[in-house]
């Protein structure tokens, strides 16, 4: 996914280009998702195609960090729930950490993996340029649970890009429209909750993610 970079090494991406960039990602790693509606096999893409290693672990006492992408070998602070305290654990470059509690919510774990894959694909230069004070610590992107609607800082733009592109690769525009229309959606007039649930199931995402995607594509008016 070739993109231009800003002076602080943040990709320059406009909202109007999100779906075309997502299509480029899928063409590279899993073109089948552009041919028929399906749950994207995010774990297979991450591990088999991108060479990442997924680990489900507790990332924080309050479960406020959902994912983490490791860009260099080093130590990372995780939370040991059995001992009730934070510990430092060594991870290798390319480790993709997912908050284990996301498995309790349909699609949350898959969205988190997709989000971190986008960081790996687009944001390595940015994070490798940030030199941590502790040389034993890994360079890593820690991703919280809050969705950013109006990014301002470089870090906020990076998170907005990962969120937006994760949604677009999990629910490719043409395939999502196709499935929504098959299920009876009408532009700007599809409010049946059952339709949202069917779309969420078809693409393996949360109901909220499917609802937002419908709105953004003009298929659902909140």
Q: Which two tokens stand for residue 9?
A: 């090494």
**Spatial contact of 69 and 56, defined as CB atoms under 8 Å apart:** no
Supply the pLDDT for residue 144: 83
Angle (CA) 130 25 36, round 5°? 150
Supply the pLDDT for residue 132: 67
Determine the Cα–Cα distance for residues 116 and 154; give it in Å rounded to an integer: 17
Supply the pLDDT for residue 220: 56
Specify the 3-state DSSP secondary structure of 22: helix
- Positive or negative: CA dihedral 210, 49, 47, 129: negative
Supply the pLDDT for residue 186: 55
pLDDT in tens, the chain (222 residues): 667 888 888 899 999 999 999 999 999 999 999 999 999 999 999 999 999 999 999 999 898 899 999 999 999 999 999 899 999 999 999 999 999 999 888 899 999 999 999 999 999 988 888 766 677 888 888 888 776 667 788 889 999 999 999 999 999 999 999 999 888 765 544 455 688 899 999 999 999 999 999 988 988 543
Supply the pLDDT for residue 121: 97
**Spatial contact of 117 and 50, defined as CB atoms under 8 Å apart:** yes
Supply the pLDDT for residue 93: 96
Supply the pLDDT for residue 111: 96
DSSP 96: E
Distances (CA, A) of 12 to 1, 157, 160, 185: 12, 9, 12, 33
Supply the pLDDT for residue 210: 94
Supply the pLDDT for residue 36: 96
Helices within 54-153 (DSSP H only) = 108-122, 124-128
The values of phi and psi at residue 218, to 5°, are 75, 20
Q: Identify the CA nearest to 73 among candidates 140, 14, 125, 121.
A: 140
Q: Specify the pTM.
A: 0.91
Burial (CB count within 10 angstroms: exposed 0-12, middle 13-18, buried 19+), residue 95: buried
What distance, in Å, lies between the first and last C-alpha atoms of the chain? 32
Q: Identify the CA nearest to 111 among candidates 33, 166, 71.
A: 166
Determine the Cα–Cα distance for residues 18 and 122; give it in Å rounded to an integer: 13
């Amino acid at each position: 996914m070739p993109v231009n970079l800003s002076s602080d090494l943040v990709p320059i991406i406009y909202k109007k280009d999100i779906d075309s960039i997502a299509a480029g990602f899928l063409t590279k790693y899993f073109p089948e998702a552009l041919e028929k509606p399906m749950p994207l096999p995010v774990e297979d893409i991450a591990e088999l195609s991108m060479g990442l290693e997924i680990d489900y672990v507790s990332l924080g006492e309050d479960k406020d960090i959902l994912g983490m992408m490791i860009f260099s070998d080093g130590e990372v602070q995780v939370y040991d729930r059995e001992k009730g305290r934070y510990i430092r654990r060594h991870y290798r470059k390319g480790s993709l950490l997912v908050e284990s509690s996301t498995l309790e919510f349909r699609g949350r774990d898959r969205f988190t993996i997709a989000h971190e894959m986008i960081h790996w694909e687009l944001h390595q230069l940015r994070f490798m340029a940030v030199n941590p004070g502790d040389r034993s610590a890994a360079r890593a992107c820690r991703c919280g649970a809050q969705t950013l609607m109006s990014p301002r800082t470089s870090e906020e733009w990076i998170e907005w890009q990962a969120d937006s592109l994760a949604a677009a690769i999990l629910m490719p525009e043409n395939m999502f429209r196709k499935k929504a229309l098959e299920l009876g959606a009408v532009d700007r007039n599809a409010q049946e909750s059952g339709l949202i649930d069917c779309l969420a199931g078809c693409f393996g995402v949360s109901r909220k993610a499917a609802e937002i995607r419908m709105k953004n594509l003009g298929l659902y008016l909140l």
